[in-house]
Amino acid sequence: MNIFESIRISFRALAANKLRSGLTMLGIIIGVAAVVALMSIGRGATRNITSRVEGLGSNLISVSSARVVRQAGVGAQSTALYYSDYQAIAQDTNNVVGISPTYESSAQVAYSANQSQFSVTGVTPEFASVQAYTIAQGRFITNGDNAAESRVVVLGSQAATDLFSGLNPMGRDITINGINFAVVGVLASKGSTGFFSGDGVILIPLETGYSRLFGGRALVNGKRTLSSVSLSAANPNIVNSVISQVEYILRRDHKLTLTETLPFSVSSQSQALSTLTSITTTLTTFLGAIAGISLFVGGIGIMNIMLVSVRERTREIGLRKAVGARRSVILMQFMVETITLSLVGGILGILLGAAIAGVVTLTGLITTYVSLDVILYSFFFAALVGLFFGIYPAFQAASLRPIEALRYE
Amino acid sequence: MIELENVSKIYKLGQSKVFALDNINLMIQASEMVAVMGPSGSGKSTLMAILGCLDVPTSGVYRLEGQPVENLSDNQLAQVRSRKVGFVFQQFNLLPRTNALENVMLPLLYDGVHGKARIEKAKAALETVGLADRIHHHPNQLSGGEQQRVAIARALVNDPTILLADEPTGNLDTKTGDEIIGLFQKLHEEHGQTVVYVTHDAFIARHTQRIIRLVDGKIISDEPVAHPLVAGTPRPEDEWKAS
């Protein structure tokens, strides 16, 4: 009596009750399919976000003001990030290949009758290299534009489409809060869509913004402020060192001690990436756990059916024991039956789950990612469910006393 | 050789104890053919279960071929059942959806006989019981007598030293029953196996060498049969009633 004999006997028993075996398996199929499909959707979402953030540049560090509670009971206050902070950072940091100050403001932007609220960003020429933009048409904002406070604008690809609905925007004028700006360039798409897209930007020279558009909102204590300063570190390995330098400069210039909370956020893309990844990973795990519950329920279904099966086949078990089957052989036979049910169910479930993930990708909602480890986990988990829920019925069968089993009606 | 020494089997039914077997002493020689008779509830089946190692006595000693069985483990008992004992039941107990050959191979499967040897032995056993042409039939395609003969083939396939038959003709008509006892006689003569045969039928019992009568778990008589009937002897008109 070897394992192959056990498998053969078990397959025959399962085949004898095809409908029942199928329905029992369905519980596992649905459970595994749910796990695979949901995990694939979660993994897909993680990959989408990762690739988008990486598209923004992995050496990127951004500095912006953060609201912090300075004194108990006073509430959160923000400290302005001054233009002078940018100048100090630009002067005093090492290993920085690009630095880009920006001021971002909401404004009414219109092309003929097509008008809506946009975010308009004042930038310097370095913005393009630091944020990894390339020009599709025309040119980017130059130092000359800033020096002359020119009324020129560069549009992100999505912004161009939104405003001009397919017309070539080059050489045409748009109005920003009623002021005419000439479109001198259109950026190439970064290739991603959704809330991390960088294709919706409307860029003007920073100096033009200060003098003509942002007005008093951009001034605190009579000094120019910035929304953020972006730095491009020379390579990804020194990102953390650059962050320390920037934090040191900000503390120095704002006269903050080391124990005080820095009222600025100095973060790298890789930090943002790890935060986002941890969120989506948690979400994926959560979805997987919910699907796991249905797999668990499927396991209970198997156990239930196996208990019925053991009772139904009491005489058969008695006979097998009477002609010399050992306890372990009977145990094995029933274990193989449950494990077969759960493994075949697991394989079918993986196929179904992958198919569902494929359909989700086809709908264009989200690009799912069926990874090998998810498949292996599901398969392993299904086997474990079979093992766990199979033990009790198999043990019951093996423990039957032959004489009583043979008398069972 | 079978030896029972002061064997009792007690079942507890609630508070009361039921003596299914009450202090039985019995010796059956190798190659003897014995009938066990008695009314329902007299302990015949319990006796057979103990002889077949399907159950163990509550007290007393059972020695099979000189070896006491009460100290054997479950697995050792399973081995004794598969190698030394062939059991034939009233209800045939064939596996459904499994053909005659595979039913007969079952004890060999559990005894670790593999491949060709297993098939050859099973075929030979089916030939012995006259079913060589029915090996691929399923139980539901066989008559009652044929099913019982498959069960007999299964009992003798592993060449056991004792054949235990618990009312094997109980579910069969008398003509088929007479054929079955004839088959046992033939096996007994040709293979020299010890046969213990439970029956209600006094005519059947007279085909054996010795009749043991049980009542209420006790042996009330144990007599040799002076002239065992030869298989095929016509049944006397007044003799077919159950004793």
Backbone angles phi, psi at B222, to 5 degrees: -150, 95
CA distances from A251 to A226, A246, A260 (A): 17, 9, 9
Q: How far A313 CA sits from the closest chain B CA (Å)? A: 10
Give tens-digit pLDDT for A359-396: 999 988 788 888 898 899 888 988 888 889 999 999 99
pLDDT of amino acid A191 = 64
Whether residue A194 is predicted with pLDDT greater than 50 in this model: the reply is: no
Amino acid at B223: E
Averaged pLDDT of chain A: 87
| 8 Å CB contact of B78 and A319 | no
Pick A324's closest partner by Cβ from B49, B55, B81. Answer: B81
What's the pLDDT band for A66 if we cut at 50, 70, 90? confident
What's the pLDDT band for A68 if we cut at 50, 70, 90? low
Whether residue A192 is predicted with pLDDT greater than 70 in this model: the reply is: no
Give tens-digit pLDDT for A244-269: 999 999 999 888 888 888 888 888 87
Residue among A241, A243, A250, A264 nearest A79 (CA): A264
Q: How far B227 CA sits from the closest chain A CA (Å)? A: 34
| Over residues A160-176, mean pLDDT | 89
Q: Which residues of A touch B75 (CB under 8 A)?
A: 326-328
Give tens-digit pLDDT for A278-315: 888 888 888 888 888 988 898 898 999 999 999 999 99
Q: What angle do CA B61, B66, B72 make, to 5 degrees?
A: 60
pLDDT of amino acid A69 = 61
Q: How far B229 CA sits from the closest chain A CA (Å)? A: 31
Q: Which residues of B touch A321 (CB under 8 A)?
A: 54, 78, 81
pLDDT of amino acid A197 = 64
Residues 250-279 of A with CB under 8 A from B: none
Identify whether the C-beta of residue B154 lies closer than 8 Å to the C-beta of residue B103. Answer: yes
What percentage of chain A has pLDDT greater than the value 70? Answer: 94
What percentage of chain B has pLDDT greater than the value 70? Answer: 97
Give tens-digit pLDDT for B142-162: 999 999 999 999 999 989 999
Give tens-digit pLDDT for B87-128: 999 889 999 888 999 999 999 988 888 889 999 999 999 999
| 8 Å CB contact of B110 and A406 | no
Give tens-digit pLDDT for B40-98: 889 999 999 999 999 889 999 999 988 898 888 888 999 899 889 999 998 899 998 88
- Which residue carries 């953390």 as its tokens? A240
Residue among A111, A185, A106 nearest A150 (CA): A185
pLDDT of amino acid A113 = 80
Q: Which two tokens stand for residue B186?
A: 């033939």
Judging by DSSP bridges, how do beta strands B162-166 and B194-198 pair with one another? parallel
Whether residue B9 is predicted with pLDDT greater than 50 in this model: the reply is: yes
| 8 Å CB contact of A323 and B81 | yes
A315 touching B (Cβ < 8 Å): yes
Burial of B73 (0-12, 13-18, 19+ CB in 10 A): exposed
What's the pLDDT band for B34 if we cut at 50, 70, 90? very high
C-alpha span between B62 and B74 (Å, rounded): 16
Averaged pLDDT of chain B: 90
User: E strand or H helix at B66, and its extent?
Assistant: none
Q: Which residue has the higher pLDDT, B74 or A50?
A: B74
pLDDT of amino acid A345 = 93
C-alpha span between B45 and A146 (Å, rounded): 109
Residues 132-171 of B with CB under 8 A from A: 154, 158
pLDDT of amino acid A46 = 83
Give tens-digit pLDDT for A199-208: 889 999 999 9
pLDDT of amino acid A193 = 47
Q: How far B126 CA sits from the closest chain A CA (Å)? A: 17
What's the pLDDT band for A74 if we cut at 50, 70, 90? low
Q: How many Cβ atoms sit within 10 Å of the Cβ of residue A394?
A: 23
pLDDT of amino acid A72 = 60
Whether residue B3 is predicted with pLDDT greater than 90 in this model: the reply is: yes
Q: ipTM of this predicted complex?
A: 0.90
Whether residue A70 is predicted with pLDDT greater than 70 in this model: the reply is: no
